[in-house]
Structure 1
């Protein structure tokens, strides 16, 4: 008892000391910033740096001019109006001093030493140190390579979003060598504008790979032997340049499987000519996709003569021969070229088979093999799953994760906006990387892709929900109301189907929990509990009904609202239907016969909501839009039966 009293007295004294402390003393308190992707290591020191209107910028020899320009733009966006260039560290810091450059530069080493920070010697690694000193401070961005320095600038972008930069040291590098997206879905491909925005997004998220592989590009699949029209080729060259500016590797993928004759030298040369044309516009990484094809029969008689009767094993041998020749040509053209990537015909499990055995025995070990997990859309991926794939293919695989892609029948009518989850921490030990296959809708895809990229950067430090919330804030451009509205939408699009009977993400968990609470409160019969639950229901209904307009007005990129337009329209109607259901329950609870009219209105509006259709041609499977289906619609149907309407005298 005495110890408890002393503890409480100590708390009271501390509270008095805090409230009587000077504002400047309180201002020195610093907190750990939230950085996404989560850094490999971050530690706080004393003090903080306020940028103010003027800053000193020192670029060490060997720093890419584009990265210097990027840092300048980040500072300008943060309100710095005067950026003075210098070549040496000042004796004292009368304003914030930012030093950027490779970690081999003497001035960078000096700046890190002053901050008691070291370098990160991993590929794409960087160190970022902030030292509070005098009226300014020292911020050092040290890249182990050019990519690492670019990533350091992206971390600085997040740090300057707050009023003060806390004194800290970050040492950071990616867990997986390959991280990004593969535009590999069926249906309407992204526009060049979509792709440009997506490449900028990948750069901000420290991704390093974008694979161009739209299934509906005829010159990459059905007409793969034919040259691209000059206009299209020029557009792809512009994209490749934009990718390079974002330190993203632009990978061109071709899908010759439906018609190729593996033993025909002319087809091999056609493939190499295609790659040579792409190389001429600045593309230096290539990919051969052999997924979704028939491999139990040959496309030509010559293959039967060369490889024997058709079958899985023969297909593996034939594919290996072609891919090995392509890999050899890539090295001939450029000895420093990145390895060829391929996706096999058996891409969705790790079971031993004659086909996989043939690849394991014959495929050049430098070639990267993609794998989608234990199924086409797996509900989870574990370390043992990845180890099995390593054994089956004879190398660590590159995970093609079919999330949030929505080009299959069970995803019709849905945006897939749940957090990226159920991928085991530690997968980086068994994978060469991870690529997300996104939706036909580029801007909404960023919600889940943010999680994929954060997981690929630091799978052991990844937090699915916190990254999900960050994705909402990022789309909202920092607008708190818009971010909250986006999270309301995300919850109604939480269900993630698989190719099996059970989804790997449940539907609308937050909304379901509230509606279940309302049902339980009504069933328990306690009046105070009923009234409180109905008040919560009214608030949730208002939030759902208001969210679409808040999103339309608040998202940083209007493309999100455009591409999600039918979902926003349907969500608003469902929100209004729930408002009427809430009003009906409230009236019924008070014995007001008007309840039946409210319930009838709810039914009518719900029917309108259920009739909203997807944008024609925007997705592979058109149809009605689904909003928290199985949760919201069921509650609205059940609401009239939850309270008997009895007129009170």
Structure 2
């Protein structure tokens, strides 16, 4: 027995050592897993081993590196728990702490660091290489092809630095489309300057590079376009342009002269040039002329009739080309290195051959970028053949103006559009110069869709709509799992994506619909245990649904999301309570209790209250009742009393509300 006791003790000691080892696997022995990064990089090659950043690193900054990019790296390291950040100009031969090397590829220190990781510099514009090597305490190199590429590398580093250990890897990455971002081109209340600032900061995190200022309700950009901006407004636009530069986003100023311009009048060309000169003086270097949503078969002045003949679509194409060519020539003279003028034509959707498109194709300066919204104003899908047809129609690859998630048309009344960015064909980068999303009047709730647009524009062939959608929720939630789950529950209630027609291009509440259909099936076909499980699952789902709004209000990293979504969150909470009461009613009915009637009646009352909540007055172009999983949730709450019959003898039982 004594010997057996010794053997047992030895085994216990050995087992304890083994278990301790399982809990403390050496960093070098742990498997290296492929990190989930958004947008998806062009290539990731995993090595073996990890680098533990610890609490102290050396930041090796190459000469000429943008100080604001360096400051961003410092902020990321601090957020990752680094307490001591020393600065160096040369790479240590054997680092005693992790060395973070930062710079563009034309500097000696970056070339040295890449060589130590057996990596090469990405050769494309806006491209970058991230290479890590486990030599000494470790080297992580952020090497940009150019300053923009280095900034994008830092955004990828931000995601990697949040991991427990930094994997040994080489990332080579660059964008598939040259232009990626948003156009504030909706009708209704424009964004505030504060929202625009937040939006520009957000665009940087998803590697977007373009923001077009084109709110339809800015009078100095449309109805009063010839007039100079008030000094205060001009100063605010200059501040935005500075914010954009800091975020490596091209701030593009758009003017919409179409309702009143006289195309053949040199004075109007000069008025456009004066407008652009004033913006150039405050730091704006890219410009845009919008000719959408105008009457183009009617001249605004007699002079145009003399210059171009009777009004017609073809004559409008000729006249517009003449005006735009003159503006492009003026821009090139004043700034030979400036980006090309962008324009949106009057016929901005479909790719059908027309006299207008033919005239524009024939006469428009080939340098000018043309926007196109796809096969319709709000297209349900866009394919490579669609884009090829547009290339042919306009005589150049187009810049896609994607009217998603914009909610300024009647079919979107009462809706936030929070479904994933989907049904755009992989490979479109071969036929487009870029892609700009037209977001909602609500800036922060626009981010889930815009995150998808930016990720698709960066790497359309590797784009995963669902995973990118989940990533956007995590970003809004600041990485908090509970808040992320609540956001995804909320997103599902706003999943419908309408078109100008009767059929939406994305269905409403697919997750909730599947869950409620499963309950119906279990009640109709299941045995007693199946019914009980279904009702229990429904109760848990209803509880999560009802509590999600408070979690979102308390947990999102971007407070503007909860503020701008306020009536939707209020309505969701009431609908959640109605669903809780519905689940209680089904449970009572399943037990043969007459309490079911009271539960169902209370659910109906709460559902009516929820359906009466309206949008924030003036926030969107069309005010109206809030929609929450409409056609799915409301139908289930209404149908629930008919799903299980309760015997007449049980009708008198008392109940309490939840």
User: TM-score surpassing 0.5?
Assistant: yes
Match of 2:206 in 1: 205
User: What is residue 594 of structure 1 aligned with on the other side?
Assistant: 595
> Does 1:380 find its partner at 2:381?
yes
Of 119, 128, 131 in structure 1, the residue corresponding to residue 130 of structure 2 is 128
1:443-502 deviation line (CA, Å, top 9, x unaligned): 000010000000000000100000000000000001110000000000000000001121
Distance 2:525 2:245 in 1: 62
**Equivalent in the alignment of 1:337:** 338
Deviation for aligned residue 1:105 = 1.3
Q: How many residues align?
A: 633
Could you tell me which residue of structure 2 aligns to residue 605 of structure 1?
606
Partners in 2 of 1:513 and 1:17 — Cα distance? Answer: 45
Match of 1:96 in 2: 98
Distance across 2 between alignment mates of 1:254 and 1:238:
19
Determine the structure 2 residue equivalent to 1:230.
231
How far, CA to CA, are the matches of 1:165 and 1:417 in structure 2? 33
The CA distance in 1 between the partners of 2:356 and 2:99, in whole Å, is: 59
Post-superposition shift, 1:22? 7.1
Aligned residue in 1 for 2:518: 517
Q: After TM superposition, list the pairs within 5 Å mapping 1:145-544 onto structure 2.
A: 145-544=146-545
Residue 113 (structure 1) shift:
1.2
Cα distance in 2 for partners of 1:201, 1:22 equals 38
CA distance in 2 between counterparts of 1:132 and 1:577 reads 56
Q: Distance in 2 between matches of 1:179 and 1:340?
A: 16
> 2-side partners of 1:338 and 1:322: how far apart?
18
Which range is displaced more, 525-534 or 544-553? 525-534
Q: In the TM superposition, what is the alpha-carbon distance from 1:30 to its structure 2 partner?
A: 2.2
Q: Runs of 4 or more off by more than 4 Å in structure 1?
A: 16-22
- Give, in whole Å, the separation in 2 of the partners of 1:215 and 1:249: 20
CA distance in 2, matches of 1:87, 1:120: 22
Alpha-carbon shift at residue 52 of structure 1 (Å):
1.4
- Alpha-carbon deviation of 1:539? 1.0
Provide the rounded CA distance (Å) in 2 between the counterparts of 1:331 and 1:447: 37
Shift of 1:74: 1.2
Q: Is this contact kept in 2: 1:183–1:212, CA < 8 A?
A: yes
Change (3 A) 1:177 1:311: same
User: Who is 1:84 aligned against?
Assistant: 86
- Equivalent position SS for 1:83: strand
TM-score under structure 1 normalisation? 0.96
Indicate the RMSD between aligned Cα atoms, in angstroms. Answer: 1.3
**Quick check: 1:592–1:648 contact (8 Å CA) kept in 2?**
no
Once residues 55 and 375 of structure 1 are traced to their aligned partners in structure 2, the CA distance between those partners, rounded to angstroms, is 53
CA distance in 1, matches of 2:577, 2:70: 50
**SS of equivalent residue, structure 1 residue 451:** helix
For the residue of structure 1 that corresponds to 2:46, the secondary structure is strand
Distance in 2, Cα, partners of 1:97 & 1:502: 55
The residue correspondences of 1:570-589 to structure 2 (distance < 5 A) are 570-589=571-590
Q: For the Cα contact (< 8 Å) 1:591–1:647, is it kept in 2?
A: no
Higher mean displacement: 601-610 or 29-38: 29-38
Match of 2:320, SS? helix
Match of 1:8 in 2: none
CA shift at 1:93, angstroms?
Answer: 2.0
Whether the 8 Å contact between 1:293 and 1:345 is mirrored in structure 2 is: yes
- CA distance in 2 between counterparts of 1:20 and 1:557 reads 41
Deviation of the 1:25 alpha carbon: 3.8
Change (3 A) 1:379 1:19: farther
Change (3 A) 1:112 1:18: farther
1:9 aligns with none
CA distance in 2, matches of 1:518, 1:65: 58
> Which residue in 2 is equivalent to 1:629?
630
State yes or no: 1:56 paired with 2:63. Answer: no
Residue aligned with 2:289, SS: strand
Question: In structure 2, do the counterparts of structure 1 residues 225 and 593 end up closer, same or farther at CA, with 3 Å as the change threshold?
Answer: same
Aligned in 2, Cα 1:177/1:18: closer, same or farther, shift over 3 Å? farther
Partner in structure 1 of residue 71 of structure 2: 69
Give structure 2 stretches of 5+ with no counterpart.
1-16, 651-658
- Counterpart Cα distance in 1 of 2:77 and 2:570: 38
How big is each residue's C-alpha offset from its partner over 1:285-343, in whole Å with a ceiling of 9 and x where there is no partner? 00000000001111111111000010100000000000000000000000001000000
Give SS of 1:460's match: helix
Report the CA distance between 1:66 and its aligned residue.
1.7
User: 1:21 deviation in Å?
Assistant: 5.2
Please state whether the residue corresponding to 1:398 is helix, strand or coil: strand
157-166 or 184-193, which deviates more: 157-166
What SS is found at the alignment partner of 1:601? helix
Corresponding residue number in structure 1 for 2:25: 24
Alignment partners' CA distance in 1, 2:271 and 2:195? 29
Listed one character per residue, the Cα deviations across residues 395-445 of structure 1 (whole Å, up to 9, x for unaligned) are: 000000000000000000000000000000000000000000000000000
Q: Bigger CA drift: 237-246 or 88-97?
A: 88-97
Separation of aligned partners in 1, 2:235 and 2:91: 44
- Further displaced range: 493-502 or 25-34: 25-34
In the aligned structure 1, how far is the partner of 2:516 from the partner of 2:142?
Answer: 49
Alpha-carbon deviation of 1:517?
0.5
Counterpart secondary structure, 1:133: coil
Report what 1:11 is aligned to.
Answer: none
